[in-house]
Structure 1
């Protein structure tokens, strides 16, 4: 063994080796707690997209179907003070708004008809599951170029704003919106019969009065009988017989939420100052059998595919 001024060379090298192997520690990443209303496959896809974009460590909590239990969970989370609560689904979003103080920001997503839950709060923002009607009306126009009048079955007490927005968007596409107002499900048949000959297509909106299975079936039956296209809200409604629908893709929605979370966490943007965002990534569902009623099936399908390609929408086809 070699010696240097009375010390073994090995003794001098040991500290160097230890220091070289010591792990380097960077700053701790912010913590996001994703609270799910249930264990659903779309939530899993959403979180995969969120985790790919958010610059944070994500932990998951799944609620039981109990508002009392949800409140208890959020009380515990409030004491931990995470950088952000990501609330997925109605139960989680409602409990987060009610149980968390303004010092914990909340981002909600995957909440159908979010308007009816009153989720507005200084520390809350989110991403809607519906667009501004621009893609839907453009898809209807691609499917039925001769269409001029689009009927919207709705309850004015909850969806007057949606009709106004659709009118604004439709005017730029040469489409006029025909409001089909109904305040109870019992009058749906009567209102639809009154629309015969007055509409060239139908557009569904997220409305709690008409947003149920029986009304959807009435709209599908009316569309088929009058041979006019029906733009629905979900792929399942297209599978049942609606002509087409544009619905958010959970993975893309999660990526959008991740980017929004970065603004809130890293740029210190106040969630209450952010309007609820519209979904950016959409899937187009298309019912070939229903579309045949609008014209030659090959021509109709080709136009829908061209429309989807221009917008970079993934396409699901049903018969």
Structure 2
């Protein structure tokens, strides 16, 4: 009887000991994990911003970025560097940045982005103010927001402003925009339009391409393209379309101010906010690979009423009222 009793009680005590030990282990692990998480969320994170320019749009992006970071990470440390025209000063900035090991970089523009990616290939980098989407995935630690709008965004606004248009000409350099042209063509049928691309591989081919546009185009849709649209070509493109009364969708506010009918435009502070959201996720522990490059979330547009009148177009009042800016 006693043996039987002892035989029952002994395993019972062992079970109690095992359960107690397991409970203690759970408590220890929980405390350890809690300490790690607490340390991760309270440790001052270091964020470094490097911008290729100090122009107003770039500064607005930086403002939007820091506003979000300060809200989400109030104890974070950070500094912003603006590259300029002085090579000596730029070298000094890069030497200082090379010695730093921040938790994350935020870079604006191709110059700053390429330099930081080469200098710190293992550090997370959020990139914006670039058109080349390749820079948004240059390393496995890079992501960001391109300035390029998706094809459907271009076509949606086009049909809102020019609902009767059926044939759309696009001048493009194949080295830069062959993929974008393909996306436009794939999306075009859903909007009831046909995309007609004219390849321009060098500036010397632009006059001939504009002649084709003058003879055949119902409208010209501009894409960000360093060969076709630049300070050197702007006058020729704007004069050709204006004189021949061809609606031209420009690349930005400055193109519309100079005579284009309309253009998509970015909200630069919101672009900074969007990049800040990406940086916030990375600082919180999300792998960069899980945050794919994307396009601007907030879409705005500007219109030129004077150009519309010259083209003998009547813009609906809703279009004018919805514009971020109207040139008259």
**2:128 is equivalent to residue 109 of structure 1:** yes
Question: CA distance change for structure 1 residues 64 and 303 in 2, over 3 Å: closer, same or farther?
Answer: closer
Per the alignment, residue 281 of structure 1 pairs with 298
Q: Is the 8 A contact 1:93 1:119 kept in 2?
A: no
Counterpart pick for 1:254 among 272, 275, 279? 272
In structure 1, stretches of 5+ residues that fail to align are 1-24, 309-313
CA distance in 2, matches of 1:108, 1:70: 19
RMSD: 2.5
CA distance in 2, matches of 1:88, 1:156: 25
Question: CA distance change for structure 1 residues 244 and 204 in 2, over 3 Å: closer, same or farther?
Answer: same
Q: Is the 8 A contact 2:136 2:145 kept in 1?
A: no
**2:68 is equivalent to residue 48 of structure 1:** no
**2:100 is equivalent to residue 80 of structure 1:** yes
Counterpart pick for 2:172 among 144, 154, 173? 154
CA distance in 2, matches of 1:318, 1:246: 14
* Greater Rg over alpha carbons, structure: 2
Q: Deviation at 1:74? A: 4.4
CA distance in 2, matches of 1:84, 1:136: 33
In structure 2, stretches of 5+ residues that fail to align are 1-38
Relative to the length of structure 2, the TM-score reads 0.78
Q: Deviation at 1:49? A: 1.2
Q: Deviation at 1:86? A: 0.6
Counterpart pick for 2:324 among 312, 315, 318? 315
Q: Deviation at 1:296? A: 4.5
* Higher helix proportion: 2
1:262-311 Cα distance to aligned partner (Å, 9 max, x none): 122213222x55443101123311111111244454xx1415236x3xxx
Q: Deviation at 1:200? A: 1.4
Per the alignment, residue 22 of structure 1 pairs with none
Which stretch has the larger CA shift, 259-268 or 233-242?
259-268
Counterpart pick for 2:80 among 51, 60, 63? 60
Question: CA distance change for structure 1 residues 213 and 44 in 2, over 3 Å: closer, same or farther?
Answer: closer
CA distance in 2, matches of 1:241, 1:41: 22
CA distance in 1, matches of 2:262, 2:127: 27
Q: Deviation at 1:28? A: 2.8
Q: Secondary structure at the match of 2:301?
A: strand
Q: Deviation at 1:148? A: 0.4
CA distance in 1, matches of 2:136, 2:301: 29
Question: CA distance change for structure 1 residues 100 and 73 in 2, over 3 Å: closer, same or farther?
Answer: farther
CA distance in 2, matches of 1:305, 1:64: 37
Per the alignment, residue 49 of structure 2 pairs with 34
Question: CA distance change for structure 1 residues 265 and 244 in 2, over 3 Å: closer, same or farther?
Answer: same
1:68-147 aligned within 5 A: 70=90, 73-74=93-94, 76-102=96-122, 104-111=123-130, 113-115=131-133, 120-147=138-165
Which stretch has the larger CA shift, 281-290 or 147-156?
281-290
1:150-184 Cα distance to aligned partner (Å, 9 max, x none): 11101112211110111122221111100011112
1:36-77 Cα distance to aligned partner (Å, 9 max, x none): 223222222212211222223332122344678656644543
Q: Is the 8 A contact 2:121 2:139 kept in 1?
A: no
CA distance in 2, matches of 1:223, 1:81: 51
CA distance in 1, matches of 2:134, 2:100: 30
